[in-house]
Chains A and B, each alone.
Chain A
Amino acid sequence: MELEDIISKYPPRQIMLVPIAVIILALISLGVTYLSTGSPVKLGIEFTGGTLITVPGMGSEESVAEEFAGYPLVDIRDIGNRYMIQFGPMSDSQYSALAKLANDRFDSPDIRHMGPIYSKELQSQVARYLPLSFIFMAIVVFVVFRQIVVSALVVLCALADILIAAASMNLTGVELSLGTVAALLMLIGYSVDTDILLSMRVLKRKGDVDEKIKGAMQTGLTMAGTTIAAVIALIIISNFLYLIVPSFTRMNIIADMTAVLIFGLAADVFNTWVTNAQGLRWYLGRPKMSARGQKR
């Protein structure tokens, strides 16, 4: 496996430049989005407020859009055998009329309305709880290892996972929704699994560091493989199944969640076996280097 060779081929400091570059790129992507939109990722309808209606696909996109003329239609999309229509903010009475219209004109419409209070409250909840979740995780990591550098490396890798996952949301156009927030939180918890495995193996076992890393990697990559396999299954079912089986429909919340998870998991493989592993190599190999430094 190529990744295994990289572990011992180059000095850790040199390899560390790669993850640092990736993290900086992620930060730039988030920063650019922040400067242009006011938030580091594009906010979905739950955070901006508005109305989402899906109706069974009867007739063309235009004819469906026609039905809702007079309402602030933002977007209309084909999602399998249904159309998903997105509306911007509107008054309560306008919304009531819209809900009635959708129920009158279509069979079993799906409606979701997020008022301004709802979306503002949700924004503040995310701003409060996402960091809280991260801090809780960091505390647990410190309690588990009781070693500052090792713990800090694990936390740093988790942070990098989240940043990369968030940045890939921007690159692929996935918006922040309740589903993606759940996925980001899930990543916070999940991303440290392999880091803990790696650090435990390296710290608690006897033997050569590089060999221990390679050993842990075999286990860790299997772990990543199973999780990625489960996520890919969900991606196929939620996103693409309706293209094959026409009676199925896109499941938005699952599609959003899995899109973030797949990027996060990929980032986690990279961060665990490059960032964290090299960090440990550097940390455990450091006494010799500092001794040499003193002589100079």
Chain B
Amino acid sequence: MSLIEDLSKDKRVVLYVVAVALAIISIGFFGLKFGLDLEGGSYLQLQLQGAQAQIDVSPEKILEYQFNATSVERRAQSYVVMVPGITEADAADDLGYVGAKVAAGENSTKITIPASAESIVLTYLKNNLDADVKLNVNVAPVRYEILTNVTRDSLNALLAPVGGRVPEGEDTFVEGVTEETMQDTKRVLDSKLNRLGLQDIKVKPVGGRFLLIDMAGADVAQAQEIVGKPGKFEIRIQTENNESVHVLYGDAVESVEIPSKENEVWGVPFGLSEEGAAAFQKAAIDAGATRKPEDHYISMHLDKEEIFSAPLAPELASSLNKAPTRRMQATVGSGDVGSEKAKMLNIHLREGALPVNVEIVGSGQVSAALGSQFKIQMVIAGIIALLAVAGMIYRRYREKRIVLPMITTSFSEVVMMLGVWAIAGWQLDLASLAGIIMVIGTGVDQLVIITDELLRGGETAASSAQRSIKERAAEVAEKAGVGKIAATTSKVYLARLSRAFMIILGAAATTVVAMLPLLFMGFGALTGFALIIILGVILGTFIARPAYGRIIGHIMGTD
């Protein structure tokens, strides 16, 4: 009884007991979540292809080159470009300069482009890379974020005709996209995947260049189909024979509704923007589809791949004769096949493109059956490891009053780690379970250091070897002052304990710093392993082991 009374006054022991109790409660309350490799599912590792670069170029030179101009002048908020001869009115529009005014003179044309220097560069890059380029003014000097696969050299080659280049230096060209683009991409993927009704999907950014997607309940082929083919969405209309013309791009699709069934036929209703509807009407009339709808297929393409094709519906054809239609429906077929097709079309329609080009760099799938089998195997491994460790300790001390607290402490460290995992809602994967077993192995080591430091104090190995652990325990207790005065007042005992903790702190610090890099490498595959080891070391060093030091001192004293 006095043992418990004594210990309940020690704040280290109280902290430890409270921590373990909290851990048990939170494991019970929140439950443990398991990772993909234990639950089954598939994963994709995507590289976001992009780079951020400073660019050294004069906008005047760009315009001069693009328009073959005789002179380019900056006037107020615009650039005035003089072009010899007569130029087509939409020359500037074609190059992507919005709002340009073209005034034809006698033998020259004056084009006024209202644009800033940066937007001229931006437009030039967009045009030549056929990709989105964003201006990042949050850094100085400003950077251009290019959302496709470029290198410093390819960018320099592109800028050479206009006398521009990426300045020399380390940070003038950085691979990877901005955090904002990363988050945008993540959001598009999130919404895309959630809509498919796949449960428990995680899209996780790794570094500045990679996205990791975990999908439970889908095989890798499906996953790749869903994610791996984002791109340009386009609607085309058949003109004559097998030729078709462009009608609109994905940006004209304003809304998409969930697939619906009408007369046993599945369809995906969608809405067009005003301009989109007008373009659709114009294209249908021009192609002659309003007169003979059955000869004019409307096709939808994603990255130039046909994902839908059907003749223009007769009702729609006749209504298009009178006015543009903004609400339409793409019908795909009946039954389960139709339902599946409608689901896919729904996704494709909604997400014309991700904000950035992505490349699947790695992927895979884990079977749920294998995962649950691994789970069982790891639990067995954990138990056997704990038993093996207990056996080793017993071999050394031959004293169950030491072995039991040691194993209990080690096990309670595992409980605390799992408690933190439960509270944080992190997933336990195979590697983190291995990490837990490693912590059992190393955690007990620290307990051995404490025990030996207390048991053997300043005496030499030779003299101690001749005496039993029991005798030494009694001596420790005497020095610790248990039974006479409170343990905390004994100088010898405390000196030994603090020496033990110097060793433990040193060892703990090296383990933690050695594990730090693992948090960032391997595309997150080993993050769990590193995190659980770091956490285990910290919890063990600051909560469990100080308490153990007190408890073991008291236990050895109360005989």
Contact = CB atoms under 8 A, between A and B. Distances in A.
Contact of B523 (A118, A144, A197, A247): A118
Interface stretch (B183-191, B268-276, B389-397, B543-551): B389-397
Nearest to B457: A205
A254 B431 CA distance: 8
Interface string A195-220: 01100100011111001101101110
A76 B365 CA distance: 18
Given A109-B367, A118-B523, A218-B452, A129 B517 contact: yes
A219 B448 contact: yes
A190 B521 contact: no
A118 B388 contact: no
Q: Is the interface of B mostly helix, strand, loop or mixed?
A: helix
Contact of A226 (B220, B360, B389, B518): B389
A183 B362 CA distance: 22
B506 A144 contact: yes
B384 A236 contact: yes
Interface in B428-476: 430-431, 434, 437-438, 440-442, 444-445, 448-449, 452, 456, 458, 460-462, 464
Given A108-B367, A189-B511, A103 B221 contact: yes
Nearest to B384: A233
A258 to B, nearest CB: 8
Contact of A251 (B45, B377, B389): B377
Nearest to B43: A112
Contacts of B365: 99, 103, 109-111
Contacts of A234: 381, 385, 434, 437
Contact of B461 (A54, A218, A225): A218
B499 A204 contact: yes
A96 B224 contact: yes
B258 interface: no
Nearest to A55: B367
Contacts of A219: 448-449, 452
Contacts of A237: 377-378, 380-381, 384
Interface string A110-142: 111111111001100110011011101101110
A40 B437 CA distance: 29
Contacts of A54: 370
Given A113-B364, A222-B393, A193 B445 contact: yes
Given A110-B370, A205-B458, A181 B522 contact: yes
A222 B451 CA distance: 11
B516 A251 contact: no
A246 to B, nearest CB: 12
B493 to A, nearest CB: 16
Contact of B460 (A82, A110, A140, A208): A208
B512 interface: yes
A137 to B, nearest CB: 5
Contact of B431 (A118, A182, A227): A182
Nearest to A200: B503
B461 A254 contact: no
Contacts of B391: 229
Contact of A189 (B359, B444, B515): B515
Interface in B170-221: 210, 219-221
B374 interface: yes
Given A218-B452, A223-B445, A92 B360 contact: yes
Q: Contact residue range for chain A?
A: 35 or more
B384 A136 contact: no
Contact of B360 (A115, A129, A230, A238): A115
Contacts of A141: 506, 510
B514 A186 contact: yes
- Of A237, A238, A248, the most chain B CB neighbours within 10 A belong to A237
Nearest to B49: A117
B345 interface: no
A110 B366 contact: yes
Interface in B400-434: 430-431, 434
A176 interface: no
A183 to B, nearest CB: 9
Given A137-B513, A215-B461, A99 B221 contact: yes
B65 interface: no
A133 B361 contact: no
B372 to A, nearest CB: 11
Contacts of A197: 449, 503, 507
B280 interface: no
B509 A230 contact: no
21 contacts: A99-B221, A110-B364, A112-B362, A125-B520, A130-B517, A133-B514, A140-B506, A178-B522, A182-B529, A192-B506, A192-B507, A193-B445, A217-B461, A218-B452, A230-B388, A230-B437, A230-B440, A233-B385, A234-B381, A248-B373, A251-B374
- Closest 5 interchain pairs by CB? A108-B367, A189-B514, A230-B441, A189-B511, A129-B517
Given A121-B523, A133-B518, A192-B507, 20 more contacts: A99-B221, A108-B40, A110-B365, A133-B513, A189-B513, A204-B502, A211-B460, A211-B461, A215-B456, A215-B460, A225-B396, A226-B389, A230-B385, A230-B388, A237-B384, A241-B380, A248-B377, A253-B430, A254-B381, A254-B434
